[in-house]
């Protein structure tokens, strides 16, 4: 006896796959979503102290946090990286 998958199940699976694909594509284009190209950028930064001052007048704990905030013209305040231990 030959078994087959009903057409309804195949179409339902195809619909779910297409819906997930469109959802993922929309999320990736959202600012801060996946691509990290929006501002502020949705990225994880390491916790260490190597301060930078940027054109916006803010001091960030390191260049990653400045990048995440979309700050420009950042310069190191020196001192080298110091790990933050809790």
What's the pLDDT score for residue 30? 47
What's the pLDDT score for residue 32? 43
What's the pLDDT score for residue 10? 73
Q: What are the mean pLDDT values of the chain's consecutive 10-residue runs (86 residues total)?
A: 71 71 58 58 90 95 94 89 74
> b vs e for 22-45, b when ≥16 Cβ sit within 10 Å of the residue's Cβ?
eeeeeeeeeeeeeeeeeeebeeee
Cβ(82)–Cβ(62) below 8 Å: no
**Phi, psi at residue 16, to the nearest 5°?**
-65, -45
What's the pLDDT score for residue 40? 86
């Amino acid at each position: 006896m030959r078994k087959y998958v009903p057409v309804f199940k195949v179409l339902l699976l195809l619909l779910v796959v297409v819906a997930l694909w469109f959802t993922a594509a929309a999320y990736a284009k959202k600012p801060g979503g996946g691509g990290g190209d929006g501002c502020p950028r949705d990225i994880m930064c390491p916790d260490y102290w190597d301060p930078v001052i940027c054109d916006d007048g803010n001091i960030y704990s390191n260049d990653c946090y400045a990048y995440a905030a979309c700050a420009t013209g950042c310069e190191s305040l020196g001192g080298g990286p110091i790990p933050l231990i809790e």
